[in-house]
Structure 1
Amino acid sequence: MRRPRPLTLALACAAALASSVVVAGPAGAGGHPDRSHTPRFSTTVLDPDQSFRGLDAVDSRTAWVTGGSISGGTGGVWRTTDGGRHWQDVSPPQTEGLNFRDVEARGTREATVLAIGEGEASRIYRTTDGGRSWTETFRNTEPTAFYNCLAFFPGGRHGLAVSDPVDGRFRIAATDDGGRSWRVLPSRGMPDSTGEANFSASGDCLTVSGHDAWFGSGGERSRVFHSTDRGRTWTATDSRIPPGEAAGVFALAFRTPRQGIAVGGDFSAPTDGVDAVGSTRDGRTWRGAGDLQHLGEDVAWLPGTRSGVLVVGESGDVGGVSASLDAGRSWTRLSSTGFHTLDCTPDGSCWAAGGKGRVARASLR
């Protein structure tokens, strides 16, 4: 089989993730059949009581997902090392009632997971042996704080976690030892954030690229916050995504420290994707991009392309998968089946996870 071109690979991943069948038909550039490439899409239900919103795909074989119980039980952590054929429940012990919304992995053995919630419900756990044992490395002690997302800079030593505002300013916790310990940073470098909040919709409300970090907000204002000094100081810019009580920026992704996409919407109107995408070409200023036909809970740059982007969203019975090949200026809705969270890897695989314990992987074979 000849090696697929990057654009063909990107379209195949997008079409495969949008498919509602286990094995998708072949697709080539422009959507025309190309029988030399066969995208395969497999969906697995790990636990129908779980809503998966945390996902980190290491490569085409290894991925970690985290979730929360739909019925009010315990959330969990799962890991695969064989491309999704088998998944292992590696949840931390004695974490009844916690809701795991984010995971950052550094391979098959090392991962950091975030449990969300007010007060002590916000916790961070770390494993270095593939989930056989876990260490609690952070527990929030501020009753009004609510941590939503975490991310690590390249190399894995420095990382940040973001909380809803405390006393009118978003709160940042930081690590400089790979997640072994965390400290809350002073708030004097954070702009006034009164009336704003994060959305822990997909684990990607905070993201990094190079030495820069960004997170999104919603509520009274819908903004993108940007730091160039590992979270000590921040600037805030209008995201161009409309704000609202349940509306704003849900996720961000950067192909480079300058080229980024922000997606969001309104959970109270999940079929309305108008103005649900913002884009930046300098990493600082944002402009409106093309409209979606569904809310955008997560976004990823398609591997092997300069301008291919995939967006997923899911809210109850409303959802969708959409793709853009022009960096978000225009979108094609590929499916009405949605996911909460999404990740694509440099080796050409895209992973997704969502409600009712569903996980999926798409690639070329």
Structure 2
Amino acid sequence: MQQKFFYTLFFSFLIFFSKAQTIQTIDSIGVSLRGLSVVNDKVIWVSGSMGAVGRSVDSGNTWKWYTVEGFEKNDFRDIEAFDETSAVIMGTGEPAYILRTADGGETWKVVFEDNTKGMFLDAMEFWNENSGIVVGDPIDGKFFVGRTFDGGFTWRGIPPENYPPAEQGEVCFAASGTNVRKLGNAEAVFVSGGKTSSIFIRDKIIELPFEKDKETAGANSVAVKNKKIMAVVGGDFMVPDSTTKNCFITKDAGNKWVAPKIPPHGYRSCIEYIDNKKWISCGLNGVDYSIDEGVTWKWISKEGYNVCRKSANGNTVFLAGDGIIGKLVY
């Protein structure tokens, strides 16, 4: 009986380590990348500082890089792609821009421009090829929310009276383009940070248990498994190795938030749901992986990344950071 138990334990040990997760570097470039959109297992788009946009149509094996003409000094913190030829990119502010391409990144058209003082866009999300949303930092005490219903060709703000209210010192962090996510087929959820961290679900505003009263701390990213199970990550980006209050999970649609037993190993700017109970999160000091719905996290890479995204129509997970693109191998 003891021998049988030993062999069972031994082979379980081998299976676990034979499936160990690693991050493979697949390309590098001398700009900071925070925008990442994975259309399928072959088509990947990235965007970042100095007007940079990159595109691969062969699973990241080769890349074509562009500098958007006239926007060489802009930081494109988010990108949402529809296929290998069409995508929209978001320039933060001031002024705030959204541009669209229909020829694989060769040319870009300005589809949104806002010169309002204080305007700063943080992230975009699309439910489908037509319907999308963009969120921005508060102006006059309210978060900006814009919508498109024609695939990003035109954008406009929702009625100002419907802008979500913000507390003093509350903002969104444009760290990975993932502080707004779709919630089902017609709703969205977004998170904030700074002196107060909140999650905005439909018409509810729920305070999150991140560190308060600190401009550099709070929620950076939210990932959605379903309408009940969500996870948020963040922390203090000025203390990248701190594991204090950097991740929380809800299993009841946001009413109760629980910290992991073993949290991610530092500040995290992005979290992504993969499948089953598997999640991935990344930040300045590396990448963590969970196989138990975020209860425990394993540090699988100490290479810093800003954003991680799973293929919208596939299984591959890619990452992008300061001058680097990676791929999850598991």
After TM superposition, the score normalised by the length of structure 1 is: 0.81
Deviation at 1:152, TM superposition (A): 0.9
Tell me the equivalent position of 1:280. 250
Tell me the equivalent position of 1:78. 54
The alignment status of 1:241 with 2:210, answered yes or no, reads yes
| Residue from 289, 296, 308 that aligns with 1:330 | 296
- Counterpart amino acid of residue 235 in structure 1: K
Tell me the equivalent position of 1:126. 100
**Aligned partners of 1:190 and 1:235 also within 8 Å:** no
**Aligned partners of 2:136 and 2:145 also within 8 Å:** yes
Structure 1 residues 38 and 220 mapped into 2: Cα distance closer, same or farther (>3 Å)? closer
The alignment status of 1:176 with 2:149, answered yes or no, reads yes
Q: Determine the C-alpha separation between the residues in 1 that align with 2:164 and 2:297.
A: 33
Output one character per residue of 1:25-46: Cα deviation in whole Å (capped at 9) or x when no partner: xx99863226xx998834211x
Structure 1 residues 293 and 42 mapped into 2: Cα distance closer, same or farther (>3 Å)? closer
Q: Determine the C-alpha separation between the residues in 1 that align with 2:90 and 2:266.
A: 27
**Aligned partners of 2:21 and 2:300 also within 8 Å:** no
Q: Determine the C-alpha separation between the residues in 1 that align with 2:265 and 2:66.
A: 36
After TM superposition, the score normalised by the length of structure 2 is: 0.89
Q: Determine the C-alpha separation between the residues in 1 that align with 2:36 and 2:221.
A: 13
Output one character per residue of 1:265-324: Cα deviation in whole Å (capped at 9) or x when no partner: 10121111222112222333240321222111111112xx3211111001xxxx021111
Q: Determine the C-alpha separation between the residues in 1 that align with 2:266 and 2:273.
A: 18
Output one character per residue of 1:180-213: Cα deviation in whole Å (capped at 9) or x when no partner: 1111112323443032101011111111132221
Q: Whose relative contact order is higher, 1 or 2, with alpha carbons under 8 Å and at least 6 apart?
A: 1
Q: Output aligned runs, 1:120-159, within 5 Å.
A: 120=95, 122-153=96-127, 155-159=128-132
The alignment status of 1:292 with 2:277, answered yes or no, reads no
Structure 1 residues 339 and 307 mapped into 2: Cα distance closer, same or farther (>3 Å)? same
Structure 1 residue ranges (4+ consecutive) displaced by more than 4 angstroms after TM superposition: 27-30, 37-40
What 5-or-longer segments of structure 1 have no aligned partner? 1-26, 69-73, 228-233
Tell me the equivalent position of 1:8. none
Output one character per residue of 1:4-27: Cα deviation in whole Å (capped at 9) or x when no partner: xxxxxxxxxxxxxxxxxxxxxxx9
C-alpha RMSD over aligned residues: 2.1
Tell me the equivalent position of 2:231. 261
Q: Output aligned runs, 1:1-365, within 5 Å.
A: 31-33=16-18, 41-45=24-28, 47-48=29-30, 50-68=31-49, 74-117=50-93, 119-120=94-95, 122-153=96-127, 155-193=128-166, 194-210=168-184, 211-227=186-202, 234-243=203-212, 244-290=214-260, 291-302=263-274, 305-314=275-284, 319-345=285-311, 346-355=313-322, 357-363=323-329
Structure 1 residues 56 and 29 mapped into 2: Cα distance closer, same or farther (>3 Å)? farther
What 5-or-longer segments of structure 2 have no aligned partner? 1-11
Deviation at 1:363, TM superposition (A): 4.5
Q: Determine the C-alpha separation between the residues in 1 that align with 2:21 and 2:145.
A: 44
Instruction: Provide the aligned length of Structure 1 versus Structure 2.
Output: 313
Task: Name the stretch that deviates more: 107-116 or 271-280.
Answer: 271-280
Identity of matched residues, %:
27
**Aligned partners of 1:309 and 1:323 also within 8 Å:** yes
